[in-house]
Each structure stands twice: as C-alpha cells, then as structure tokens.
Amino acid sequence: MKNNDFFKIKEDLSLLGIKTGDDILVHSSFKNLGGVEGGIETVIEALLSVVGDNGTLLFPTLSFSTVNPEPPINNPVFDVRNTPSCVGAMSNVFMNFEGVERSLHPTHSVAALGARQKEYIQNHELDNEPVGENSPFFKLGKLGGKVLFLGCSTKSNTSMHGVEEYAKAPYVLSENTRHYVIINKDGNRTEKDYYYHYIHQRGFAQRYDRLENIMNFQRGNVLKAECAVVDCEEMWKVGSEKIKSDPYYFVEKIE
C-alpha cells in the first residue's frame, strides 16, 4: 500500500495546506488523478495518513440517483448498509473501509472515519431537509473543517446547498415533501417525510464556482488532478451573507 504514489499524494496534499488534525470532506474524480499505483485504496490511505489520528476524513455518499419515491426511480428505501453512493468510486470504496460510519439520510448521507466521526454522523436523521443543521456538511462549518475538490469542479459543492438552505435562498427547497424509508446499521426501519431540492425544476442551474469570486480557495495538484481546498467556516459565513444580499448569486436561469 505504501508505494511511491502514496508518498507523492501525501506531499501534494500537504502543499494544498492539509495537515494533521484536519477534518476534510472530499469530492472526487478518481480518473483525473491519472492512474494510481494501488488504486483508490492508496489515495484514501494517503488522505488518512495526512489528517492523522486527530483528524477526520469524510466523503459524501449521496444517493439521490437511486433513492427517490417518484417515477422513474420509484424507490423510497435508503439502507445505510448497502445503498450505493452516486458521487464517485472513491466514496463507494471509502464507505466500506473498516471503522467507517455513514450518516442516516435517504439522499444526502456522509461517511466518516477519524477522531470526530461520531460527532459528524450522529443525529443526521433528525433533519427533514437535504443539508440541514444536523448534517455533517453543516457541522464542518462549526468544527473548523475543509472541503477538498480532488480533481473535480468546485461546482460539485454539496455544502453550498446547506448554505442555501441555511440562508433560506428562495429557490432551493420543494414546497411538498417526499416519503422515505430508512434502514439503519442494525436493520431497523423508520419512515419519514423530507423536503428536497427544487432548483432545476424552477429553471435554475447551480453556479457554486462563483464562490471563488468572493473568497479564497487554495489551489494545487494531487498527482495529475487539479484540486481546490476551501475553509468551511468561511464558506458558510461568506456564502450565506452573499445570499442574503443577492439571493440568486449562486444560480443562473437555464435558457
């Protein structure tokens, strides 16, 4: 596992400002790394090694593409044990690493491993919106976390949905709810109604890349992948203030 790519990835992550004790949530494209000796496991081991025992590694394990009670999907059931993530191969490999816990949410779960994993994962089931105040995305803003875009666009920023929900952006949530079934790690089943994102249906496309116009992103490469890192506390503050003054700043109308 500890091959040349492992050490090169660690070095590249350090140059991006990621250090021991950090809590890092990773949006990823594995292919943009350009081939890694040892595959996805090498990348995850390098990330875990950089944040160390006092840090926490998190991956979004979103499941909106397979869990939706409405046609054409017709599947209201989220099973934390085996519902796949729809946001990349790395997130699917990570959630099966030993010791990883995954939060309970039908469409916007997160997997975590490390010092504060329980704090991030617990109580997510209390929310009734996608990225609410009990979601790990929100907690990253409170606990001094960072988001790493590993070879993918800063448009893939789920935390910004949370910022939109928190700042009550007028386009973000549905008026009605959807009914979901949630199965926890012990196989126990609960049912619950959730509001969902209603952005595209209102004719808007997301422009979370505009966050780069109003705050600092650390930029660099990990192997061949172009990467960016953003501080969550600042992102929530700057993003929500922007929405309050200019509610449609992070979306654009689809022609």
Ligand X SMILES: CC(C)(COP(=O)(O)OP(=O)(O)OC[C@H]1O[C@@H](n2cnc3c(N)ncnc32)[C@H](O)[C@@H]1OP(=O)(O)O)[C@@H](O)C(=O)NCCC(=O)NCCS
Q: What residue ranges bind ligand X (CB under 6 A)?
A: 27-32, 39-40, 60, 62, 87-90, 92-93, 152, 156, 158
Pick 17 or 35: Cβ nearer ligand X: 35
Residue 32 φ then ψ, to 5°: -70, -10
Q: How far is the CB of 189 from ligand X (least distance, A)?
A: 26
Q: How far is the CB of 205 from ligand X (least distance, A)?
A: 13
Q: Give, in order, the Cα–Cα distances in Å from 28 to each of 8, 56, 91, 151, 157.
A: 17, 17, 8, 6, 11
The beta-strand segments (E) located in the chain are 23-28, 56-60, 77-79, 101-102, 110-114, 146-150, 178-183, 189-194, 204-206, 218-222, 225-231, 251-253
Q: Other C-beta atoms within 10 Å of 119: how many?
A: 15
Pick 62 or 232: Cβ nearer ligand X: 62
Q: How far is the CB of 165 from ligand X (least distance, A)?
A: 14
Q: How far is the CB of 157 from ligand X (least distance, A)?
A: 7
Residue 6: partners with Cβ closer than 8 Å, 6 or more residues away: 38, 42, 45, 46, 49
Pick 191 or 254: Cβ nearer ligand X: 254
- Distance separating alpha carbons of residues 138 and 232, to the nearest angstrom: 9
Pick 32 or 184: Cβ nearer ligand X: 32
Pick 29 or 75: Cβ nearer ligand X: 29
Pick 48 or 52: Cβ nearer ligand X: 48
Q: How far is the CB of 86 from ligand X (least distance, A)?
A: 8
Burial (0-12, 13-18, 19+ Cβ within 10 Å), 173? buried
- The single-letter DSSP state of residue 32 is G
Q: How far is the CB of 200 from ligand X (least distance, A)?
A: 12
- Distance separating alpha carbons of residues 64 and 142, to the nearest angstrom: 25
Pick 130 or 191: Cβ nearer ligand X: 130
Q: How far is the CB of 48 from ligand X (least distance, A)?
A: 17
| Radius of gyration for the alpha carbons in the chain, expressed in angstroms and rounded | 18
